[in-house]
Structure 1
Amino acid sequence: MRVVRGAIVRIGQQPSGHGLGGPAPTDPVSAEGVAPRSSILTKPIFAKPMAYIALTKPRVIELLLVATIPTMLLAQRGTVDIALILSTLFGGWMGAASANTLNCVADADIDKLMKRTERRPLARAAVPTSHAFVFGVALGLGSFAWLWWAANLLSGLLVVGTILFYVFVYTLGLKRRTSQNVVWGGAAGCMPVLVGWSAVTGTIGWQSLVLFAVIFFWTPPHTWALAMRYKEDYKAAGVPMLPVVATEEKVTKQIVVYTWLTVFATIALIPATGVVYAAVAVAAGAWFLLMAHQLYAGVRRGESVKPLKLFLQSNNYLAIVFCGLAVDSVLGWTTVGSILG
């Protein structure tokens, strides 16, 4: 799995989106997992397998899987259980791949209308829709079974809940009906941290809920920045993303608000961590806030802004924060909470 959109990092993905699915780039490599035309992977024998891989949106999954690792390290601070981490990542990968595939099935009609998504497998009829549906369901069932066996029942149930929420609540329920779609639908992209924490502890601790909040608040500014760049695409497809229905000033103001909430959430985790994470969270937070405020100020001055820059840098921000958390957790130094308490 984010978030850690599981989480984190690449979070180094190209324009893609959030959560377990979301918008994906047009570049045939980064967006669809399809190799460049000069690659051997474009030969006919590889066409069908590559199309199925593309359905899973592999670059988006990177974001989901990498965030899971720091969460698991925090849950067993000072200890590294490689076997459990790898097992959880595999189960999380299947869950994210399932959600992304089923998202492609549900969005096949509008993907054909958007330049950014017109190369997705179902949009170009590279895979039958019925086959993609069966593939997505099989991945979801496999994810549940694997995590139940490798970790515990709670982590398996959380994955199933994530898939159902992403497909039915976000994709089918919110995405085409409200400009707040990514705010509430983004909750699906936060679930990997809960899965990772539960795989280690068998519970859902307050620390994992704070990490959930970090990704939840990070998702809107991250996605709205991308939507500002591809506003016409969303408009053509009839998807009421906030940049489609609101002015740039209103959108960037909301980006600033959610960026502040993101930074506050990262700071709320400091008592459970050491000085390494604390320093990284504060420094990276100041940088992220500066970028958001610069975008807002540029729009207010009537300048030509580059929202895609904020989108890409938001990936880096989340990556830095979660990498800092991973290092801090492995070191296992005295927590800030203990020092102050």
Structure 2
Amino acid sequence: MFANNSLNPVKRFRLLIGLALILTLALMTAGTILRLNNGAQACPDYPTCYGSFALPADPTQAASMIHRGLAGASFLSLLGALGIASRHLRHQRALWLSTLAATVLFLIQIPLGAVLVFGIWGRLISALHFLLSMLALAALTSALALTWLPSAESPLRLRFASPFARLTLWSTAAGLVLLISGALVSALDAGQACPTFPVCLPAEPLGWLALAHRSVMLITGVLLSLQFRRAWRSQRSQTLTLPAVTAGFVLFFGQGLMGALMVLRGFPVELAGVHALAAAGWVAANTLAVLGVGLAGRTTEEETAEAQETLPLRQRLGDFYRLNKPVIVLLLLVTTYAGMVVGGKRLPSLELTFWTMLGGALAAGGASALNQYIDREVDKAMQRTAKRPIPSGRMKPAEGLAYGIAACLTAFFLLAGFVNLLAALLSLAGMVYYVVLYSLWLKHATVQNIVIGGGAGAIPPLVGWAAATGSLNIPSLFLFAIIFFWTPPHFWALALVRRNDYARGGVPMLPVVRGEMETRKQVFVYTLELVGLTLLVPLFNLAGSIYLISALVLGLWLIGVAWRVLKQGGNKIAWTMYRTSSMYLAFLFLAMVIDVLV
């Protein structure tokens, strides 16, 4: 798309506009929380707080200054991006105009923010402030997307010729009305006048406004459901459209769930923040969906032909099941449940267990699907992975990407809504760690990929601990450390068996880079460290004698297998180590659970 001499400017632009987008999402979330805490006027002057730029000791005033700091950082990033676009990318008019539009909207927001601080027309200005923020977010999303997409010269040639394209426009229009009504409901606190969900019998005009907003939400939900259904029939080959529509669908219903729980639970601040972030995410996803549909410009005939491509339902369901890597998910759920029991010192309730396990399974399965989408070309070259749904061709890459995004988002909403926000954030951190830090970077960058990347698989017991207690402490980190030290010998044993596969795939696993003997030594060393760590657990009152005896016996068993790996070598014993280490971890955490309960 871009000429070679524009590669560096494009990368710099992408970095700055992406940073501005992330900061804007954080800014909008912080603004919602600040408004619910009545903090807009906590600092009576602007942009300082009582004449100082220092962070105040008062929490509300400090939150107000952080909000202003996020606004300033976002605007500076945007100005830098606009400078690069104006100097190097002016010929890409759609990209430049999107960046310019976002900048102008931010400039308008600055005096509006000052007006809110001084208390002039506060509620109406607050609604306008919110709507302009959403428009700026859409412009930022467009600018970032156009650095990867084929952007046309001005005017941008978007074609909406098919029924699906027109449905997308109708969904977007309904969403705009929903945002406007939602901004008014939020600014006027109309939700308080309609305290039951989904319907109420309003006693005042504000209640009717809230009811109208919910009616528009219903209409928009129906349109998005139709769009979602058609996308999975006729857009399965569209790598932008299908994931964007799917993400928008989940984000819409996720923020609806958060909104309903806010009403039922008396408007807690943490749910308000998630609600605002989900609404902003939905705007971004919908913007990408419109761009994807318009730029593809597909005809009715093309979409009809794709919709007629069908596979047996049983095979489709089996492929989606395999996309989750169910064996790995099951092992992670064992550690999650152990974290719940050890942290809470008792069996968790069935309700808490259900939502935590469901959220954990979706998070792990979604991250696995995203990993398979990222590694789809590498998987083709490896015998072990060539028959996976995406590299085998049974599933289109867009389907794997869309499913992974949907599962991860659903996991976050379920954990935030029915468990607690800390558990949801930890789960999100694990997904980002695995997908971004490991799959996109470490796996192909360093021989220490498994060592550093092991932190992703070590987060589930922390999710379980947070689910049961609502907090973390130093002892909980021992559960993290056990899995962190367990990961290298487990996966290096597999790498010994599949070293030729990894070599063909260009993955710098330890046996490929440093040889088989060095890998066998490292497997044994890490096994000794792991077993030593597990024997320290009782010192922190996490478990007692039942666990200690079990850990000792299991540890001797694992060390024995690792010693054979070191001395004998060969694929057979390496495969035994791989299988044994999986059983070792499951039995170890099971012993911990039994010890706590007994």
Classify the TM-score, shorter chain: 0.7 to 0.9
More off after superposition, 264-273 vs 224-233 = 264-273
Correspondence for 1:137 = 405
Q: 1:146 to 1:94 in 2, by over 3 A?
A: same
Correspondence for 1:297 = 567
Correspondence for 2:501 = 233
Q: TM-score, normalised by structure 2?
A: 0.47
SS at structure 2 position matched to 1:112: helix
Between the aligned partners of 1:155 and 1:111, the Cα distance in structure 2 is 32
Correspondence for 2:581 = 314
How do 1:21-60 residues align onto structure 2 when only pairs under 5 Å count?
Answer: 44-60=312-328
Correspondence for 2:366 = 98
Residue 154 of structure 1 aligns with an amino acid whose one-letter code is L
Correspondence for 1:287 = 557
Residue 72 of structure 1 aligns with an amino acid whose one-letter code is M
Q: 1:88 to 1:304 in 2, by over 3 A?
A: closer
1:54-94 CA-partner distances (Å, limit 9, x unpaired): 11111211111111111111112144423212210111001
| Contact map agreement 2:376 2:391 (CA 8 A) in 1 | yes
Correspondence for 2:548 = 278
| Contact map agreement 1:79 1:330 (CA 8 A) in 2 | yes
2:329 corresponds to 1:61: yes
SS at structure 2 position matched to 1:306: helix
| Contact map agreement 2:324 2:366 (CA 8 A) in 1 | yes
Choose the corresponding residue for 1:161, options 429, 454, 462. Answer: 429
| Contact map agreement 2:423 2:467 (CA 8 A) in 1 | yes
Correspondence for 1:222 = 490
Greater radius of gyration (CA): 2
| Contact map agreement 1:277 1:328 (CA 8 A) in 2 | yes
1:171-201 CA-partner distances (Å, limit 9, x unpaired): 1101112111110111100110110001111
Residue 557 of structure 2 aligns with an amino acid whose one-letter code is W
1:202-251 CA-partner distances (Å, limit 9, x unpaired): 11122221011111101000000111011100000000100111222211
Which has the larger share of helix? Answer: 2
CA-CA distance at 1:305 after TM superposition = 5.9
SS at structure 1 position matched to 2:460: helix
More off after superposition, 217-226 vs 286-295 = 286-295
1:291-339 CA-partner distances (Å, limit 9, x unpaired): 212221224xxx78621111111112112211111111111xxxxxxxx
| Contact map agreement 1:211 1:266 (CA 8 A) in 2 | no
SS at structure 2 position matched to 1:138: helix
Q: TM-score, normalised by structure 1?
A: 0.81
Between the aligned partners of 1:76 and 1:156, the Cα distance in structure 2 is 17
Between the aligned partners of 1:71 and 1:159, the Cα distance in structure 2 is 13
Residue 289 of structure 1 aligns with an amino acid whose one-letter code is I
Unaligned runs of 5+ in 1: 1-42, 332-341
Between the aligned partners of 2:403 and 2:572, the Cα distance in structure 1 is 41
SS at structure 2 position matched to 1:176: helix
Correspondence for 1:77 = 345
Choose the corresponding residue for 2:383, options 110, 115, 121. Answer: 115
SS at structure 1 position matched to 2:581: helix
Unaligned runs of 5+ in 2: 1-310
Q: Percent identity?
A: 37
CA-CA distance at 1:108 after TM superposition = 0.3
CA-CA distance at 1:122 after TM superposition = 0.5
1:24-44 CA-partner distances (Å, limit 9, x unpaired): xxxxxxxxxxxxxxxxxxx92
| Contact map agreement 2:332 2:457 (CA 8 A) in 1 | yes
Between the aligned partners of 1:275 and 1:81, the Cα distance in structure 2 is 26
| Contact map agreement 2:434 2:456 (CA 8 A) in 1 | yes
Between the aligned partners of 1:56 and 1:252, the Cα distance in structure 2 is 30
Choose the corresponding residue for 2:520, options 228, 240, 252. Answer: 252
Correspondence for 1:7 = none
Residue 328 of structure 1 aligns with an amino acid whose one-letter code is D
1:3-54 CA-partner distances (Å, limit 9, x unpaired): xxxxxxxxxxxxxxxxxxxxxxxxxxxxxxxxxxxxxxxx923122221221
